[in-house]
Amino acid sequence: MFDTLLPYLLAGVSVGGQYALIAVGYTLVYGILRLINFAHGDIFTAAGFFMVYLVASVPLPLAIPLVIILTVVLGFVVERVAYKPLRSAPRMSIMISAIGVSYLLQNLMWYVTGGLAKQYPVLPGLSQTIQIGSATTKLVTIVTPILTIALVVALVMLINHTKIGMAMRAVSVDFETSQLMGIKINNVISVTFIIGSAMAAIGSLLYFTNYTAVTPTVGAMPGLKAFVAAVFGGIGSIPGAMIGALIIGICENLIKAAGWTAFSDAFTFALLIVVLLFRPTGLFGEKTTDKV
Amino acid sequence: MSLLKVTDLVVSYGGIEALKGISFEVEQGQIVTLIGANGAGKSTTLRTISGLVPPKDGRIYFEGRDITDLNTQKIVETGIAMVPEGRRVFANLTVLENLRIGAYLRKDKEAIEEDINYVYDLFPRLKERSWQLAGTLSGGEQQMLAVGRAVMTRPKLIMMDEPSLGLAPLVVKDIFKIIETLKGTGMTVLLIEQNANAALHACDYAYVMETGRITTSGTGEELLASEAIQEAYLGKTSKS
């Protein structure tokens, strides 16, 4: 029994970790701007294409950091161009702007690629085959959860124990008073987009090791699932996003193990509905300690 | 030369003029108060000085320098701190973090630690609650924290927007004691109050605002003695 389930569990933890790296970007940005950044899945896709085009001209060890840098620049520019000018606009406007950015990026990628799927390069270390118990899998299966947990722990430390982290927490509750402390809120917001994009770029390196065809809409489904994970974990909570993502990844794969592969995506979205109905603040949703 | 000088300040929100050309000065080392009813434009005045609201016309000078067009962060750097209306402590940060964030722009680590101790001496209750989230404090404690946080910026001028709002009378007394203590350390205070009686007793100079204009000014004693002021703001009926 365990032997049959093991490969599915491993795949679940692995894909869950990849969702988690995307989910962190959703939850961070939501925590500060109360914005669902609909373009985040497309930034993940763009990271995939950056890699495809970069390996054509530079060696792999150089391509990996460049992918992360380019993705970060893209996330930063999107925020400055499409969200920052709408800082004092109603929240609905900025959300619509996010949807616009999402379609813009998708269509740009259609234009550049001609709509053909591109083959993601093989990352030698990650694609290596290994044996765990009775299961044969790729090294990425082990690397993903370890790297995800390490990055999430580092991020939580950054937020709780550094000056910029303190500023992020302050800005997340009160823009105006943060300004009165001399905090440049635009810089703090940029930092959250930079962190979120970097995590998505790292997530893409791991994700495309298993799913090697990159298309302009390939990020939509993992993006949506990561969003569900962020809501499930309690949007705004970083550990919540990670745990939510791991649970979703594992459940999806257990459903596949049960032979209901066709329903694995449906499960995720059914979960979203159930969470919104019965526990809208998610597993670790924001506690309010405000006293008036 | 006065520390703060405001000349012909006009501010409008969506076509409505909240300030219709007000001028006033705050002398170094004094407590100056703006009193007046709700909607008179008192908060707007402070928000404009701190750069949160752009003025339509008029100038603001601090230590002789024109600060009208500076952004909030630059204005904080020049030495103006604000204790906002409703306290606005960061509920999700600890008491200590709230103080540290007041020193956000400062690089002098040792002096920051000294100032934290100074604030804790001023408000021993905050020291006891150092590790508590600010959201769990009582209203009076939050007000102390908001004042302490402003002190952490090492301001030359501290502006307070309705510090006594919603607090118990005994706590209000404490707050006014603190304001006098701050003055004793050489700080200049610009205070907005609906509690005109307490404000006029504490201040060196007062301006009375009505619907976007300054209508009267004088020392605290002068205004306390004025019948018109007593009638309008101190709840005393005139003798017939």
Task: Find which of A181, A284, A292 to mutate to test the B interface (most B CBs within 10 Å of its CB).
Answer: A181
Contacts of A163 in chain B (CB under 8 A): 104
- Structure confidence by residue, pLDDT tens digits, A86-101: 998 998 999 999 999 9
> Do the Cβ atoms of B97 and A182 come within 8 Å?
no
Cα-flanking dihedrals φ and ψ of residue A215, to 5°? -125, 165
Query: Mean pLDDT over residues B111-130, rounded?
Result: 95
Sign of CA dihedral A45, A51, A57, A58: positive
pLDDT of residue A291: 38
> pLDDT tens for residues B7-60?
999 999 888 889 999 999 999 999 999 998 888 899 999 999 999 999 999 999
Provide the token pair at B87.
């306290």
Taking CB atoms and an 8 Å cutoff, what residues of chain A touch B84? 176-177, 180
Q: Please list every residue in chain B whose beta carbon sits closer than 8 Å to the beta carbon of residue A169.
A: 90, 92-93
Q: Tokens at residue A106, please?
A: 């998708």
Cα separation values, A206 from A19, A20, A131, Å: 10, 12, 19
Closest partner residue to B93 among A166, A179, A180, by Cβ? A166
Tell me the count of A-B CB pairs closer than 8 A: 71
Residue pair A153/A23 in contact (Cβ under 8 Å)? The answer is: no
Which residues touch B232 (CB under 8 Å, ≥6 apart)? Answer: none
- Could you give the dihedral angle defined by the CA atoms of residues B193, B196, B201 and B206, in that order, rounded to the nearest 10 degrees? 70
The answer to whether B92 and A173 are in contact (CB under 8 A) is yes
B92: confidence class by pLDDT, cuts 50, 70, 90: very high
SS3 B50: coil
Residue A3: Cβ within 10 Å count: 9
A184–B142 C-beta distance less than 8 A: no
Closest chain B CA to residue A164: B104
Q: H helices within chain B, ranges in order?
A: 42-49, 72-78, 95-102, 109-122, 124-128, 139-151, 169-184, 196-202, 220-225, 227-233
User: What is this structure's pTM?
Assistant: 0.91
pLDDT, mean of residues B92-111: 95
Which two structure tokens, joined as six digits, stand for B154?
């090492």
**Contacts for A56 with CB less than 8 Å, ≥ 6 apart:** none
Q: Tens of pLDDT along B187-240?
A: 999 999 888 888 999 999 999 999 999 999 999 989 988 888 888 777 766 554
Least CB–CB distance from B135: residue in A163, A179, A290: A290
For B139-166, the pLDDT digits (tens) are 999 999 999 999 999 999 999 999 988 8
3-class secondary structure for A60-73?
HHHHHHHHHHHHHH
For position B232, what pLDDT does the model report?
78
Chain B residues 148-177 with CB within 8 Å of chain A: 149, 153
What is the pLDDT, as a whole number, of residue A286?
66
Looking at residue A287, its pLDDT comes to: 56
**CB burial of residue A127 (10 Å; 0-12, 13-18, 19+):** middle
Tell me if chain A has a CB within 8 Å of the CB of B143: no
Contact: A169, B93; criterion CB under 8 Å: yes
Predicted pLDDT at B147: 94
- CA angle at residue A87 from A22 to A105, to 5 degrees? 45
Q: Does B91 touch chain A (CB under 8 A)?
A: yes
How many Å apart are CA A164 and CA A170, to the nearest integer? 10
Contacts of B43 in chain A (CB under 8 A): none
Q: Does B105 touch chain A (CB under 8 A)?
A: yes
- Quote the CA–CA distance of B78 and A257 in Å, as a whole number: 65
A199: exposed, middle or buried (Cβ count in 10 Å: 0-12, 13-18, 19+): buried
A180/B72 Cβ within 8 A: yes
Q: Which residues of A touch B82 (CB under 8 A)?
A: 180
pLDDT in tens, chain A (292 residues): 778 889 999 999 999 999 999 999 999 999 999 999 999 999 999 999 999 999 999 999 999 999 999 999 999 999 999 999 999 899 899 999 999 999 999 999 999 999 889 999 998 888 888 888 888 889 999 999 999 999 999 999 999 999 999 999 999 999 999 999 999 999 999 999 999 999 999 999 999 998 989 999 999 999 999 999 999 999 889 999 999 999 999 999 999 999 998 898 999 999 999 999 998 888 887 655 443 3
* Nearest residue of chain B to residue A173 (CA atoms): B90
Nearest to B101 among A170, A172, A184 (CB): A170
Question: Contact at 8 Å (CB) between B6 and B23?
Answer: yes
DSSP output for B135-201? GGS-HHHHHHHHHHHHHTT--SEEEEE-TTTT--HHHHHHHHHHHHHHHHTT-EEEEEES-HHHHHH
Interface residue ranges in chain A relative to chain B, Cβ cutoff 8 Å: 163, 166-167, 169-170, 172-174, 176-177, 179-184, 288-292
